[in-house]
Amino acid sequence: MYVYVVCSWCNKVLRTKSLGRPGGIKTGVTHTICNSCKEEVMREYIMSLKQIRPEQRQSL
């Protein structure tokens, strides 16, 4: 059985992984995140943290 490792953000196939006996015809998909999307997500996360300024936090 072969499994496609697909980035769930950009749907890019990153690699294939063989499970069990080789030569199987069944295929499956497993989702992960690729390095470029990981960087993008982390950047957005850090940006969203920086958007909350200390003075705004105090007034909440």
Contacting positions for Zn ion (CB under 5 A): 7, 9-10, 34, 37
Quick one: 5 or 37, whose CB is closer to Zn ion? Answer: 37
When the beta carbons of 10 and 52 are compared against Zn ion, the nearer one is: 10
- Print the SS3 string covering the chain: CEEEEEECCCCCEEEEEECCCCCCCCEEEEEECCHHHHHHHHHHHHHHHHHCCHHHHHHC
Question: Which residue, 1 or 7, has its beta carbon nearer to Zn ion?
Answer: 7
For the bound state, the minimum distance from the C-beta of residue 20 to Zn ion, rounded and expressed in Å, comes to 27
